[in-house]
Structure 1
Amino acid sequence: MRRPLEVLAVGVVLGELLCLAGIRGILLFLLCLCPALLAFFWRGVRRRILLVLVLGAVAGALRLQLALLPGRAERQLQRAEGAAATFRGRIAEIEPRGELTRVRCGSVYLLLRESDGERLALGRVLTASGNLSPIAAPTNPGEFDYRAYCRARGVTHRMQVRRYRVEGRASPLAEGLRRFRSVALERLKAVCPEQEAGYLAALLLGDKHALSEDFYDLYRKNGIAHLLAISGLHTGFLGLALYRLLRKKCGLSLSAVVTALFLCLYAALTGGDTGVFRSSLMLGLGFLALCLGRSYDLRSAAAFALLFLLFLSPLQLFQCGFQLSFLAVFSIGGPGKALTERFAARRKLCAAFLQSLTVFLITLPVISYWFFSLPPYGILLNLLVIPMTGALLLLGFMLLAAAFAAPPLALCCGQILHLALGMQILLCRFVEHLPFHRILLGRPKAWQLVAYSLCLSLSFRLLLDRESRPKEKRQRTLRLVLFLCAALGAGISLLPIRSRVPRVWVLDIGQGDSIVIEQGSRCITIDGGSTSRPDCGKQVIEPFLMSRALGIVDAAFLTHADLDHTNGLSYLASRGSGIRVKRVILNPAAETDSHYAKLMTSLRENPETELFFMGAGDVYGNFHCLWPPREVLPEEVNEQSLILLFTANGKRCLFTGDAGQPSEEKLLERLAAPERAAERAALTDIDLLKVGHHGSRGASSEAFLALLSPDCALISCGRGNSYGHPHAEAMERLRRHAGQVHSTAKEGALSVELLPN
């Protein structure tokens, strides 16, 4: 067995995945164990591989299960949850967050405002009182799982601090590094423009807060965002450059020891990202091998680093950065190396392209799962930009040193950096104008990831299997056909799976409304905003649409002008969003009412978005507008809300915005006219009702609900909102007249499929 550590690492990963899958994973494992037991009696090498694999799987499953069980500290925090909690712990991390500061003590993030006389420092003991709560799981598809991210770092709770005090002595080394990082960031801001300072802060110090969102999004959308973070690539550049520099003057052992110590300090200075630890461990093993006169194996070193990091925190396996970091290394040391030796042994450019393509193909499932899209030109961009990174890294350190010692020299370095960044930005802008610069895949299901991995593995096997290379033409043709089928199967397996029937989503957006109706690749939204989550457009609605592979909103209805219905959609309709909104449909009051002036200004900033106005009696596709009438518009903004009847597959759905009882009464009067008997009949015994005004007391009147008698009623409101939504009286009326009542505050995002009768 050539690489036992690699086999053990595969077993540990498999064990964690089976443990996470629960009973289904255990049954699958037992099913696979039967043929494995038969293989136990094969040759000795295969027997040892099987034993190591099973041992690793058991160890991985047990370690993850232990990490998932609440420990003593977590149980104490669970008992202390509430508005009057007290917490005491040693400060392990301090991070500015605008006017506030986030402090990590043990397994708690504390958000506080620094007070005079209470100096925060790493290593000091902090005692705080405030509102302690567990970090909540995401409640919408596609939403970033902040709870899983925190748990992988050992954090389970957060506290909004009202009062605190600190005592004890600071840790000299940790606090010294933190202060140096803070001073270095200030020096960079003093000698560089904002964009260059933010870039260097991310590249050298691991601080992304100074990066503008537009700059980061530009790199992310083009597949080179990894260059804006301290990664294994940067650490490798630094470690090897320092080692080669020292090796000319010092002995082998001294150079290796000094470089290893520097990497440890640098990892502590930059916050200890997964890529930094992985690269530092692997370089350390490389230096150890040099000192001992042993050969260095990249894959074994990567396997050791993986086992070490998963032993410390097994939940890291389910984080994007961990997956991308290790998949990239294994692809370079495995298929990438083999393909290069086979097809481009003496052609450096072709070899670099093959390596980049291999990394892209192997990390593609992770990219599609976490980012929902792939930048096909990212391979070429990385080939152009990565060679610049080493030079920019060294230039950045020179600029940082000059910022302390000779600020005028730092200005000269800043000009060079400005030109290099300008070149990268031009490349990204150029690529964005090419056809198919972004392919939206959505979030693939587990079986799609498995199918892609199997097909890709078969493709590599057919390309690289030298021992069974056929000599006859018929056999070569058969292998070529099998390879093409496997490659095609890999490509098809990640295509988005779309809903064949209309599906109505009510997103959990906090105190607001956001409704999405999807069918196939078509998508229509009704409202999109929140007062409790002002960034809902970027953090909730856009990720949801992208996770469903919906890059275009065909029509967006805005029922009225309140922020809790509009601020998220205003972001989607802007040029900075990754979603294209074809048209926005508003109520007739938006043409003249001053309440809509700011909203209309923001919507008109994007010329690609068309504006339409809709009143009672108008029809758009399957939507029939029932309220408000164009001839007599209500003065109160909520009562101007569009009331829309949507029909599909024989099912009728009513969406009422924030319309209250006055609108309901006038609508019932309007429908009482003989000529509107058909409209009234369409509202009798409907299938789905989006409850008006978040379930407030002043909406969903008795007479209105008696006419509708919905089979299902959905309420969109925030947890613990100050308005008391949904109101007890409204809930009582809904229970009397609706078949089922569901609320986003209790259940998260809600979805209903409109199946044909």
Structure 2
Amino acid sequence: MRSPETAYLLAPAHGIDAWRDGMSDRIATSVHRPSSRFIRALALGDVRGLDDADWTVLRANGVTHLIAISGFHVGLVAGFFALLVRAGWWLWPTLARRVPAPIAAAAGSVVGAGLYTAVAGFALPTVRTALMIAIVAGLRGLRRRLSAAQCLALAAFAMLLVDPLSALSAGFWLSFAGVAWLLWCMPDSGGNAVRDFLSAQGVASLGLLPVAAILFGQASLAGPLANLVAVPWWSLAVVPLALVGLGLESLHVGAGEWAWGLAAWCFDVSWPLFEWLATSALSLWWLPEPRWFALPLALIGAFWLLLPRGVPAKTLAALLWLPLLWPDRRIPTPGEAELMVIDVGQGQSVLVRTARHALLVDMGPAVQDGFDAGERAVIPVLHALGVPRLDAAVVSHGDNDHAGGWPAVAAFYPVPALFAPEGVRLPGSRPCLAGEAWTWDGVRFRFLHPPLDFPYLGNESSCVLRIEAAGRAALIAGDIGEVIERRLAREHPGGVRADVVLVAHHGSGGSSDPAFVAASGATQALVSSGHGNRFGHPRPFVVERWRHAGAQVHDTADEGALRVRLERRGIHVEARRQAHPRLWDAARRGDSRSAGLSYREDRDGRGPEG
């Protein structure tokens, strides 16, 4: 057992992390403005003070790359140190007899970049920029002339040597792609700083839009305008003042307060503009997930648009962006339906789509360590599928693994109709009573359980929903157990009959009663469970029971999200990890179900349940 009250300080903190933490506290106590949290982020990379509302505004404006110390700021500091060295060599020309001024300036830039990288806590974007500066400086010191493309390739190679997993980060591709676009489109400066800055912003915005859309599934129409303000103002006014404050405060306590206060004032002047842009029609545009060929076509279109003047038919290049910006959302036709079993770990969330409506059944768990499936899994899936709104939602019962993500989803998608069992007290909800039915676009929805006056018994009171489309049927059973399953099979044999069944209670040993399994006659049994979950779901004998009844069993723990289409020509099941395989999924294919095999089975085939 841990006893925090018995802990005591062994020694005072020291080192760069202790210095950063102390400086962050000084900024927080000396700057009496709300923007002090941004000064801490821009000066030290300390983003602990930023809340979700701040990040929402930053993302809507496309300026998150400037917060928490960007690589661009490292380059500015490196350039400032190079100018200082140049100034020293100009004041004392005899120094050039020992070290040429260009080489000394290059070494100074490396020192400046290294110091600022340490101040930032060695964050990945700063390390990446520092490596690029060090490579260029090293080549300058060796008097080797390499092209800009070769320098960029060496920087990428060095970055992968230091951190091989950085290739999996979005920042790696955005930063190197951005530099590559700028080197190709603007190899030489024209001498006009304003024109060069505007050109660089245009090239970066156009060239990186396809990559950002693929990586984040969003685009900010306000981004180019916001960056025109944020890049020069924050980088040339706010950040230098914040760094001056750090330097002065390191020399004498209290000496840097004026600089931090002035930096906060400069930030406050610009922040209302970004808040306004975040709420305007120019803010985030969520893009549905495109097909695989959308990115290369969009990159070709960007290449075409950025060709020199005089290249013919540039307007036609915009057509190559259509598969990316306006992809096929694969919406069901009238009379047909689609079920998306979202991979939320050990929990459940199902999106049901018809031609013009969307219903969300459960929202996954929200746990104490900060993971909220509603925010991290459900909402991104809705965006990826291009769901603009939810017409209704069902919280099958009050357990966290089904209802935990509801607040996050409700905050982003206001739902006009919410169904839940009588005992689940959710604002604005109404009971999901057996017999209540409605029809959307030729698809019929009907609740089979719980009946009127049924007491709230947790799992046993779960809403059981039947969906009929294109002559097919699907059943979402919540977490009901064997008693309720036998009752439904006895009292509603026609309602239980279904082609697709979302297996109750994640495939636990206390559900999937043999009579219920036989009565359903399902050909597809879907299980929503977490990989390696401590409950051993789905139990091996339950999986075998469904297979013996003639159903194919699909588990989100092994196959990822499951997409099931109820069509007139049949039932189509698509597993995410099979349709979109990744390299690291290969190691998981074919491995044993450790969760199921690690539990000893009792005589009736059951073990510990969750």
| TM-score interval, smaller chain | 0.7 to 0.9
Q: 1:239 to 1:560 in 2, by over 3 A?
A: same
Is residue 2:456 matched to residue 1:617? Answer: no
Is residue 2:230 matched to residue 1:388? Answer: no
Q: 1:663 to 1:241 in 2, by over 3 A?
A: same
8 Å Cα contact 2:489/2:496 also seen in 1: no
8 Å Cα contact 2:31/2:260 also seen in 1: yes
> How far off its partner does 1:526 sit?
0.7
Q: 2:264 aligns with which of 405, 411, 418?
A: 418
Structure 2 SS opposite 1:754: strand
Q: 1:565 aligns with which of 388, 393, 402?
A: 402
Q: Which amino acid aligns with 2:23?
A: A
8 Å Cα contact 2:289/2:385 also seen in 1: yes
List runs of 5+ in structure 2 lacking aligned partners.
Answer: 91-100, 570-610
8 Å Cα contact 1:498/1:519 also seen in 2: no
> How far off its partner does 1:585 sit?
2.1
Q: 1:444 aligns with which of 266, 269, 290?
A: 290
Aligned to 2:317: 486
Is residue 2:469 matched to residue 1:648? Answer: yes
Is residue 2:523 matched to residue 1:711? Answer: yes
Note the alpha carbon deviations across 1:334-384, whole angstroms, 9 max, x for none. 22568x96xxx86x6555333212111111122112211000110000001
8 Å Cα contact 2:17/2:121 also seen in 1: no
8 Å Cα contact 1:196/1:414 also seen in 2: no
Note the alpha carbon deviations across 1:605-661, whole angstroms, 9 max, x for none. xxxxxx554422222333433333563222313232211111222221001112223
Structure 2 SS opposite 1:385: helix
Is residue 2:572 matched to residue 1:737? Answer: no
> How far off its partner does 1:728 sit?
5.1
Is residue 2:281 matched to residue 1:435? Answer: yes
Q: 1:517 aligns with which of 326, 339, 352?
A: 352
8 Å Cα contact 2:363/2:409 also seen in 1: no
> How far off its partner does 1:711 sit?
0.7
Q: 1:749 aligns with which of 561, 575, 586?
A: 561
Q: 2:496 aligns with which of 683, 700, 706?
A: 683
Aligned to 2:113: 263
Structure 1 SS opposite 2:564: strand
8 Å Cα contact 2:433/2:452 also seen in 1: no
Cα distance in 2 for partners of 1:617, 1:504 equals: 21
8 Å Cα contact 1:191/1:403 also seen in 2: no
Note the alpha carbon deviations across 1:145-169, whole angstroms, 9 max, x for none. xxxxxxxxxxxxxxxxxxxxxxxxx
Is residue 2:151 matched to residue 1:333? Answer: no
Aligned to 1:535: 372
Cα distance in 2 for partners of 1:404, 1:313 equals: 31
Q: Which amino acid aligns with 1:324?
A: L
Q: For residues 97-496 of structure 1, what are the structure 2 equivalents within 5 Å?
A: 176-192=15-31, 196-251=35-90, 252=101, 253-284=103-134, 298-310=148-160, 312=162, 316-336=166-186, 349=194, 351-389=196-234, 390-404=236-250, 408=254, 410-461=256-307, 463-464=308-309, 479=312, 482-496=313-327
Note the alpha carbon deviations across 1:188-244, whole angstroms, 9 max, x for none. 334346964543343233343443233223212320000113322101111122322
8 Å Cα contact 1:744/1:750 also seen in 2: yes
Cα distance in 2 for partners of 1:282, 1:572 equals: 41
Q: For residues 50-65 of structure 1, what are the structure 2 equivalents within 5 Å?
A: none
8 Å Cα contact 1:511/1:718 also seen in 2: yes
Q: Which amino acid aligns with 1:379?
A: P
Q: 1:325 to 1:657 in 2, by over 3 A?
A: same
Q: Which amino acid aligns with 1:366?
A: V
Cα distance in 2 for partners of 1:177, 1:650 equals: 67
Q: Which amino acid aligns with 2:246?
A: L
Q: 2:342 aligns with which of 507, 510, 517?
A: 507
Q: 1:386 to 1:743 in 2, by over 3 A?
A: same
Cα distance in 1 for partners of 2:116, 2:260 equals: 23
Aligned to 1:18: none
Structure 2 SS opposite 1:581: coil
> How far off its partner does 1:527 sit?
0.3
Cα distance in 2 for partners of 1:179, 1:588 equals: 52
Q: 1:556 aligns with which of 393, 406, 413?
A: 393
Structure 1 SS opposite 2:501: strand
8 Å Cα contact 1:192/1:411 also seen in 2: yes
Cα distance in 1 for partners of 2:217, 2:356 equals: 15
8 Å Cα contact 1:712/1:741 also seen in 2: yes
Cα distance in 1 for partners of 2:281, 2:136 equals: 43
Aligned to 1:660: 481
Q: Which amino acid aligns with 2:45?
A: G
Q: 1:293 to 1:746 in 2, by over 3 A?
A: closer
Q: 1:696 to 1:190 in 2, by over 3 A?
A: same
Q: Which amino acid aligns with 1:447?
A: F
How much is the aligned-residue C-alpha RMSD, in angstroms?
A: 3.6
Q: 1:531 to 1:568 in 2, by over 3 A?
A: closer
Q: Which amino acid aligns with 2:280?
A: L
List runs of 5+ in structure 1 lacking aligned partners.
Answer: 1-98, 101-111, 122-174, 470-478, 605-610, 672-679
Structure 1 SS opposite 2:69: coil
Aligned to 1:106: none
Aligned to 1:585: 418
Cα distance in 1 for partners of 2:355, 2:157 equals: 43
Note the alpha carbon deviations across 1:287-344, whole angstroms, 9 max, x for none. 6788899999655543442343345555544431111111222222322568x96xxx
Note the alpha carbon deviations across 1:406-427, whole angstroms, 9 max, x for none. 5555444444333333344322
Cα distance in 2 for partners of 1:290, 1:300 equals: 14
Note the alpha carbon deviations across 1:557-589, whole angstroms, 9 max, x for none. 111222211111221112xxxx42333421351
> How far off its partner does 1:715 sit?
1.6
Aligned to 2:580: none
Q: 1:202 to 1:519 in 2, by over 3 A?
A: farther
> How far off its partner does 1:397 sit?
1.5
Structure 2 SS opposite 1:565: helix
Note the alpha carbon deviations across 1:474-513, whole angstroms, 9 max, x for none. xxxxx2xx22112222344442331243432222322211
8 Å Cα contact 1:507/1:515 also seen in 2: yes
> How far off its partner does 1:689 sit?
0.3
> How far off its partner does 1:732 sit?
4.7
TM-score, normalising length from structure 2?
A: 0.79
> How far off its partner does 1:719 sit?
3.4
Structure 1 SS opposite 2:204: helix
Aligned to 1:627: 448
Structure 2 SS opposite 1:211: coil
How many correspondences in the alignment?
Answer: 547
TM-score, normalising length from structure 1?
A: 0.65
Q: 1:669 to 1:492 in 2, by over 3 A?
A: closer
Cα distance in 1 for partners of 2:418, 2:302 equals: 45
8 Å Cα contact 1:694/1:726 also seen in 2: yes
8 Å Cα contact 2:508/2:539 also seen in 1: yes
Going by fraction, where is strand more abundant, 1 or 2?
1
Cα distance in 1 for partners of 2:6, 2:543 equals: 43
